[in-house]
Chain A
């Protein structure tokens, strides 16, 4: 008998594991991915989804099985078995979650690093930053702080001012002010954000990026769009009555189209 129950347990775990992987690969719940950040995010999401599905289906199945199998049949009296605990079992299910959590933690650290999240740390202690009158925080995905300086050609600097209830984008190159964000595909954008009034948040679901836009605390958010198209910018921090209406668009163009747009809108110097 113990042999049979071991085989059943093993088979159920296998089915559960395969089921979890199948669900994570076949149930697609995320919007299109449109930034360099997004595929990395989706990878993490998938791993979390696999682990989550296995745990959830397994626990639910255990509870339902117990309720059905061990239910009190009509006319049955007396109590269940005398089982007050089992040290090795308890050690087992302390260790399993600990290992899973440790794995998830290390894995998400790796993802975080690949998204560029750890980079500002390396520059935290340089005198370069301390000498600045304002301390600039890096959002996740922000590259080294230096790339945000306008004279660095590798990234396109754009300034975002958020206010109740609009996003205003300013392009230092060409001195353009726009209510929509125009960016070229495949180029790193360095968005310097600050709020005029209350806290807002800049969120592009297709980029898998969100960063609060905070009054009195400028923040840098770096990202690289990888897909042309029109994606929503959503304010994700309660900012007043029209919070739900505080939306805009990011328009990702081919480089040539972007250059044309830039040229057309550049203020002519008289």
Chain B
């Protein structure tokens, strides 16, 4: 039986299990599925983080002495794969997308609730499969990029399980993308126009277009790679006449847009959080929308900047340099607009706001090193070094993960009906921010001075800086503790949040916390000015109170 909803339809009552057990069920409620994504993603984040910890322990000494070399390569492969495919992508898209998008468009659920549940339930088995492959003959050890011929010559079992797992996760991602596009375009409440949607809807629309266009290419590539491994075909195997560079083009055709799949939704979430906590309208709504779409278009034509040191002809290097550098323009607009949103506000320095501002600072640095890396002559020195490692952690951790924490602080009252402890939140932010920068800022220097990435052993002159970096990683690990304590403490004993603790205007706050299954009792509210904060708004609320 297929199930799809029209605007104002309610999901069938009998399909909704109740009580906490619903979070372990094949629930069709978009809010349950959103939280399933969030908690599942966070569990994988803890696993991926432990693997990162193991890497940082290994690198405190220049010799390979903490774990066997093969295991080290498995650990770095699993770390990358888990963090991308099981933590950031599912959480910034699946978790917040499922929870918020139906509210924002004024619908009672996603367009295809059953497909939505299928998309989520593909994730836990593929994640477990990936991790257990370590115990069956060892996990994949060719990095998350799985470049042939290395991925063809390393032990086959782990690599095949990795491919299957990534294929399933990619499938989940495509289902989600189709669902978001359909929901945003077709399930909007009558009377709500596209240019009145909250910015996160635009971010998710752009992201979903990228997901639907590029993920199938990765799937096809990995299927060909699996043929090379099990059936000894020669697509990417040079000894059978294959071409290894073709794999890189196909792989990065998905995997560069994947970066935008991780950061565009984060951009959207920040655009929701900043106006509310600085009590001001979002600055430059229209330019924000156009810059998202600009990033989507440019994001599809920059992939070969990952291949400047591979065999690429000069014209290609030039084209991809220019295209990549130009992404800085729409991205820059967004950052200036966010700072302008803060300007003249009445800013609450709470967990949500601090993590969002931490994101701006970190991401600006990541963006600057990104423009530098786009320049071929600069890239040929630092490509595949710790400079790149630092750069992309500034983008995906300093960017996306900071936004995930910010969003948890912001929407926790809606999810649970309880407030988080803001003092613990500020403490969590300070430790995370210091730990993160201590861990990754020194790695720029390591890369410039000659330390390649993905190594278990290195030149002893780099030991001190590596140890500093590892101390930063330790702080990052410890910063999880106040966060978890805060979550559990608040769920059990937190202050009652009420419906709208932030005095926000977007539709998810115009209902009870947590919201009822049908999202609103009665009709969905029509919010045509999602960012109508400012003096006008405070005068209106004053008048209402009187």
User: Which residue numbers of A lie inside 8 Å of B, CB to CB?
Assistant: 29-31, 40-41, 44-45, 48, 51-52, 55-56, 59-60, 62-63, 66-67, 70-72, 76-86, 89-90, 93-94, 96-98, 100-101, 104-105, 108-109, 111-112, 115, 117-118, 120-121, 124, 137-141, 197-199, 201, 203, 205, 208-212, 214-217, 219, 232, 234-245, 247
Contacts and interface: CB of A to CB of B under 8 A. Distances in A.
Contacts of A94: 287, 329, 332-333
B346 A80 contact: yes
B493 interface: no
A19 to B, nearest CB: 15
Interface string B336-367: 11011011111111000100010011001100
Contact of B317 (A83, A117, A211, A219): A117
Interface stretch (B13-21, B36-44, B122-130, B529-537): B529-537
A121 B314 contact: yes
A235 B384 CA distance: 10
Contact of A244 (B64, B287, B314, B337): B64
Contact of B450 (A101, A215, A232): A232
Given A82-B534, A140-B376, A59 B309 contact: no
Given A44-B378, A236-B453, 8 more contacts: A63-B342, A72-B348, A79-B533, A80-B345, A80-B533, A108-B377, A117-B377, A240-B154
Contacts of B242: 216
Contacts of B360: 59, 63
A38 B505 CA distance: 56
A120 B377 contact: no
Contacts of A109: 318, 321
Contacts of B414: none
Interface stretch (B219-227, B401-409, B456-464, B470-478): B456-464
A117 B376 contact: yes
Contacts of A139: 309, 380
B153 A238 contact: no
Contacts of B278: 70, 80
B336 A67 contact: no
Question: Among B147, B309, B333, which residue has the most Cβ atoms of chain A within 10 A?
Answer: B309
Interface in B285-299: 285-287
A67 B372 contact: no
A74 to B, nearest CB: 11
A245 B459 CA distance: 9
B384 A236 contact: yes
Contacts of A77: 538
A63 B376 contact: no
Given A59-B339, A85-B283, A241-B70, A120 B375 contact: no
B512 interface: no
Interface in B363-418: 364-365, 368-369, 371-372, 375-378, 380-381, 383-385
A210 B333 contact: no
Interface of B: 64, 68-70, 72-73, 141-143, 147, 149-150, 153-154, 238-239, 242-245, 278-287, 308-315, 317-318, 321-322, 325-326, 328-329, 332-333, 335-337, 339-340, 342-349, 353, 357, 360-361, 364-365, 368-369, 371-372, 375-378, 380-381, 383-385, 444-445, 448-450, 452-459, 531, 533-538
B310 to A, nearest CB: 5
Contact of A98 (B239, B329, B335, B459): B329
B69 A242 contact: yes
A66 to B, nearest CB: 4
A72 B349 CA distance: 8
A163 B208 CA distance: 42
Nearest to B277: A72
A120 B314 CA distance: 7
A61 B73 CA distance: 40
A interface, over-half SS: mixed
A86 B88 CA distance: 34
A236 B452 contact: yes
B384 A137 contact: no
A59 B378 contact: no
Contacts of B378: 41, 44-45, 48, 108
Contacts of A137: 311-313
Nearest to B143: A238
Contacts of A45: 378
Contact of A90 (B69, B150, B287, B456): B287
B67 to A, nearest CB: 11
B448 A209 contact: no
B346 A72 contact: yes
A85 B378 CA distance: 36
A140 B346 contact: no
B56 to A, nearest CB: 15
Contacts of B536: 82
A108 B376 contact: yes
29 contacts: A48-B375, A52-B372, A62-B339, A66-B343, A70-B344, A72-B347, A72-B349, A84-B531, A85-B285, A85-B286, A86-B283, A97-B328, A109-B321, A121-B313, A121-B315, A139-B309, A140-B376, A198-B149, A205-B449, A216-B242, A217-B238, A217-B311, A234-B450, A236-B452, A240-B73, A240-B153, A243-B73, A244-B64, A245-B64
A41 B372 CA distance: 12
Contacts of B329: 94, 97-98, 101
Contact of B345 (A55, A70, A108): A70
Nearest to B362: A60
Contacts of A80: 278-280, 344-347, 533-535
A70 B343 CA distance: 7
A253 to B, nearest CB: 21
A59 B361 contact: yes
B347 A66 contact: yes
Given A108-B375, A212-B310, A217 B245 contact: yes
Contacts of A82: 280-281, 534-536
Nearest to B339: A62
A235 B325 CA distance: 28
Given A232-B450, A232-B459, A112 B150 contact: no
B402 to A, nearest CB: 13
A210 B309 contact: yes
Contact of B326 (A71, A101, A203, A247): A101
Contacts of A240: 73, 150, 153-154
A216 B321 contact: no
B337 A90 contact: yes
Contacts of B340: 83, 86, 89
Contact of B322 (A40, A105, A124): A105
Nearest to B142: A238
Nearest to B363: A59
Contacts of A138: 314
A243 B455 contact: yes
Nearest to A43: B377
A202 to B, nearest CB: 9
